[in-house]
Chain A
């Protein structure tokens, strides 16, 4: 796992250097790689999914503008993560103060984000779709063969690496890779028709 994480960081560094040399398409790769993680992160602060999209977008633009000063002292994702959190907090503070203009204090944002009235609410339609998707996925997981279900649950719930799962399940890493992939394919077969009808 560590080796592959390092590989991921090296790829990020390579892409960052390309962007810093004027290659804007390399930034698309970075956005594509981290878009879902950043959306989920922002969604912890801002519950309305469409607001979360806008804030995540703003965070990526801010990151691009600041990329000239990025020296690789931390991993790119760690750096991007901080920008996204600060963007979300700033958004919450500015919304709380009803669009007054001022410098945002991050500690102040920490306090403000916990106020329930500031968290957006999902629309009923979205809630319904959310529930349907969750049920479909849960049902697909329940029907998975034991070895596939254990592999994907160790990965998603426990956050284990393939190597760790292989040790736990006493099987080769290649088998783990295959079991997780086949589990995802089986779940996707249930999910895809549901999403296509929407």
Chain B
């Protein structure tokens, strides 16, 4: 166990330790002064070898700073979303939009085909024709427009039209008219 921790220290000061093991070691260092002392000596060896100076932080260096930090106000900065989070959010937003559009289109197609079938039956009955391709098709959006118009006329006296020459859902307001 000691050897394992000491080896972690050796790799840590060489910046050769994984993120997870570094965090694990930092937690151990916080709770076990003898491990921290070991790291100090390893660092001292390095300082002497590289700089010919036996200079290190005091043993209570972290504690002193911690005490001063305790008197400082805490940060309460909300976590900024990382680029990955942004990508995930964007992907989810696009997926949700596609899903909504798909549901709307499917609903309209389903309504439209049902209405189309009804129209064809009515037209067939009126003309007694055997050529369904000549049947004048009723616009698919009509039932939806009709419901819109019923609602709007009932509430605001406005009228929405989905004619090909007019912009879809253009509003015609009839002021003062029933």
Mutual binders A and B? yes
Cβ A24 vs Cβ B74 within 8 A: yes
- How far is A141 from B144 in the complex, measured between Cα atoms in Å? 88
- Assess whether A95 is interfacial by the CB under 8 Å rule: no
- Assess whether B49 is interfacial by the CB under 8 Å rule: yes
Residue of chain B at shortest CB distance from A192:
B41
Given the interface pairs A4-B15, A137-B49, A162-B16, the reply to whether A188 lies near B62 with Cβ below 8 Å is no
Cβ A53 vs Cβ B61 within 8 A: yes
- Assess whether B14 is interfacial by the CB under 8 Å rule: yes
Cβ A180 vs Cβ B10 within 8 A: yes
> Chain B's nearest CB lies how many Å from the CB of A49?
5
> Chain A's nearest CB lies how many Å from the CB of B3?
8
> Chain A's nearest CB lies how many Å from the CB of B30?
7
Instruction: Report A-chain residues with C-beta under 8 Å of the C-beta of B41.
Output: 188, 191-192, 195
- How far is A56 from B16 in the complex, measured between Cα atoms in Å? 25
Given the interface pairs A8-B22, A68-B75, the reply to whether A162 lies near B14 with Cβ below 8 Å is yes
Cβ A49 vs Cβ B55 within 8 A: yes
Cβ B62 vs Cβ A32 within 8 A: yes
> Chain A's nearest CB lies how many Å from the CB of B9?
8
Within 8 A of B (CB), among A149-198: 152-153, 155-157, 161-162, 177-178, 180-181, 184-185, 187-188, 191-192, 195
Residue of chain A at shortest CB distance from B17:
A4
State which of A33-41, A82-90, A102-110 sits at the interface with chain B. A33-41
Residue of chain A at shortest CB distance from B8:
A181
> Chain B's nearest CB lies how many Å from the CB of A24?
5
Cβ B77 vs Cβ A32 within 8 A: no
Q: What per-residue 1/0 map shows which CB atoms of B1-37 lie under 8 Å from chain A? A: 0000011001100111111001100100110000010
Cβ B19 vs Cβ A22 within 8 A: no
User: How extensive is the interface on chain B, given as a class?
Assistant: 35 or more
The A interface, classified by DSSP as helix, strand, loop or mixed, is helix
Cβ B48 vs Cβ A133 within 8 A: yes
Cβ B16 vs Cβ A24 within 8 A: no
Instruction: Report A-chain residues with C-beta under 8 Å of the C-beta of B30.
Output: 25, 28-29, 32
Given the interface pairs A39-B57, A43-B55, the reply to whether A24 lies near B17 with Cβ below 8 Å is no
State which of B63-71, B108-116, B128-136 sits at the interface with chain A. B63-71
Cβ B49 vs Cβ A28 within 8 A: no
Given the interface pairs A28-B30, A192-B41, the reply to whether A36 lies near B74 with Cβ below 8 Å is no
- How far is A28 from B36 in the complex, measured between Cα atoms in Å? 13
Cβ B62 vs Cβ A22 within 8 A: no
> Chain A's nearest CB lies how many Å from the CB of B76?
5
Given the interface pairs A4-B18, A20-B77, A33-B26, the reply to whether A184 lies near B45 with Cβ below 8 Å is yes
Instruction: Report A-chain residues with C-beta under 8 Å of the C-beta of B6.
Output: 181, 185
Cβ A24 vs Cβ B57 within 8 A: no
Within 8 A of B (CB), among A1-43: 1, 4-5, 7-8, 10-11, 14, 17, 19-22, 24-25, 27-29, 31-33, 35-36, 38-40, 43
Report 7 cross-chain contacts, Cβ distance below 8 Å, ordered by A residue: A7-B22, A11-B19, A20-B75, A35-B57, A40-B55, A156-B50, A184-B42
7 more contacts with CB within 8 A, not counting A52-B55, A56-B61, A129-B54, are A7-B19, A7-B22, A11-B19, A27-B65, A40-B47, A43-B53, A57-B64
Interface set of A (CB-CB < 8 Å, partner B)? 1, 4-5, 7-8, 10-11, 14, 17, 19-22, 24-25, 27-29, 31-33, 35-36, 38-40, 43, 49, 52-53, 56-57, 60-61, 64-65, 67-68, 129-130, 133-134, 137-138, 141, 152-153, 155-157, 161-162, 177-178, 180-181, 184-185, 187-188, 191-192, 195
